[in-house]
Amino acid sequence: MTTIKETTATQPISRNKLLGVAGVGWMFDAMDVGILSFVIAALAVDWGLNSQQMGWIGSVNSIGMAVGAVVFGLLADKIGRKKIFMWTLVLFSVASGLSALTTTLAVFLILRFFVGMGLGGELPVASTLVSESVEAKERGRVVVLLESFWAAGWLIGALIAYFVIPDYGWRVALLLTALPAFYALYIRMKLPDSPQFVAKASAKKRTVWQNMRDLLAKPYRKQTLVLWVLWFSVVFSYYGMFLWLPSVMTGKGFDLITSFKYVLIMTLAQLPGYFTAAWFIEKFGRKFVLVTYLIGTAASALVFGNAESVAMLIGAGMALSFFNLGAWGALYAYTPEQYPAVNRGTGAGIAAGVGRIGGIFGPLLVGSMLTSGYDISTIFAIFCGAILIGAAAVLFFGKETKQTELQ
């Protein structure tokens, strides 16, 4: 079994064990985000929310993710990947559980901000930790497989929504998302920190400002700007589309339970999307997977927005899940590879933070446009265009990092 090179001064950890420990934390994140899309639809009925209020729930979550990605990305370069991975997991778990007890939209939004901070900080830090702990020849595949735990979490979230929310309510569903706090204790005991962080810890200390400034210095400026465009376009479209899927289905005339069932079916396509991306990423490279899967996402979004039959809706929704989540896997593999260890957490965190700004506007755009009378086909055409911009940025300006040794 492959082992991680020099993970700690005492004990190595196997690649599969690292993937499992980090992946289960990733899965809990996805479970929370997945449940939220169903909770928004349920809250609209329970609290009588309009489209703009529904949009704000998803956007506040993304505001928290933007803040968390930047703050915790900077801290990951100062105090270590493992500690931040654990802290962010506890933060989002506790806040998510508390949000189940709220009775007003204002308090719910405040708690969703803290949930978002935990989520936004954990994801780039976890991918950085795994990237730094795996050999170059399999690094891309392992990080995409780490991302595949997101699909498992979404499926669990969809299953909880389908079986719990209709009979027991959205509060019980959210309480179940507090369970990952207990998993943080396991992480403290079992997960070593990144070998590259441990190796650089004894080097000359760098300031936060130095790490941020270097992102736009000549050696890294081009890849930084490519990442920012790519992250913004992917996150803007993902949260705009996927957080609204159950609500879009109810808007097309399906009842809540039927809508949940159809979205659950669409979610199943995420897993083969990840697995095929994991296979192709070491065979054809990061740029190939990103561009191909983003173009597939754009085409699927266009078809979904114009679908009129149930078969076309489900087929396009499954294609959307397949291509979009495969692209996400490649994005998390690609991002940490652009920077050296001294500012890798900062670079990945700020790129994710820029992306989360897109996640703020995506759900708000949908809510605002629906309120103004625009139909779904127009809205999804906008997301299609945004995704194509991200694909073009990678295709023409991106740097291929297939099987390169991390600095």
Mean pLDDT of 28-50: 84
Q: Is residue 59 in some structural domain?
A: yes
**405 falls within a domain:** no
Residue with tokens 């997991």: 89
Domain with 288, as residue range(s), is 15-188+215-397
Instruction: Report the SS3 class of residue 8.
Output: coil
Whether residue 172 is contained in a domain is answered as yes
- Stretch 393-404: mean pLDDT: 85
pLDDT greater than 60 at residue 331: yes
Long-range Cβ contacts of 278-283 (<8 Å, 24+ apart): 278/140, 278/141, 278/144, 278/145, 278/148, 278/329, 279/141, 281/140, 281/141, 281/144, 281/329, 281/330, 281/333, 281/402, 282/137, 282/138, 282/140, 282/141, 282/402, 282/403
* pLDDT at residue 4, rounded to an integer: 43
Listed in sequence order, the residues at least 6 apart from 129 whose beta carbon sits closer than 8 Å to its beta carbon are: 22, 81, 82, 85, 193, 194
148-188 confidence digits (pLDDT tens) = 888 888 888 888 888 888 888 889 988 887 777 677 667 66
Q: What pLDDT shows up at residue 10?
A: 37
Rounded to whole angstroms, the maximal C-alpha distance in the chain is 62
Q: Give the pLDDT score at 117.
A: 92
Concatenated DSSP letters for 137-184? HHHHHHHHHHHHHHHHHHHHHHHHHHHHHHHH-HHHHHHHTTTHHHHH
pLDDT above 80 (res 2): no
Q: What is the three-class DSSP state of 3?
A: strand
In a domain, 178, yes or no: yes
Taking the chain, what is the end-to-end CA distance rounded to the nearest angstrom? 25
pTM of the model: 0.76
By mean pLDDT, which of 255-259, 302-306, 310-314 is the weakest?
255-259
CATH of the domain at 259: 1.20.1250.20
Short-list 122, 121, 136, CA closest to 15: 136
pLDDT of residue 407: 60
Asked if residue 3 is part of any domain, the answer here is no
pLDDT of the residue at 406: 61
72-96 residue pLDDT tens: 888 888 887 888 888 888 888 889 8
Q: For residues 219 and 318, which has the higher predicted lDDT (pLDDT)?
A: 318
Q: Quickly count: other Cβ atoms within 10 Å of residue 51's Cβ.
A: 19
> How many domains does the chain fold into?
1
* pLDDT confidence of residue 61: 81
The chain-wide mean pLDDT, for the chain, equals 82
In a domain, 155, yes or no: yes
CA pair distance 352, 112, nearest whole angstrom: 18
- Residue 313 belongs to a domain: yes
pLDDT digits (tens, 9 = 90+) for 357-398: 888 888 888 888 888 888 888 999 999 999 999 999 999 998
3-class DSSP state of 14: strand
180-209: pLDDT as tens digits = 767 766 766 667 766 666 666 555 566 777
Task: Note the pLDDT tens digit of each residue in 116-144.
Answer: 898 888 877 877 777 777 777 777 788 88
Cα separation of 265 and 322, whole Å?
A: 12
Residue 6 falls inside a structural domain: no
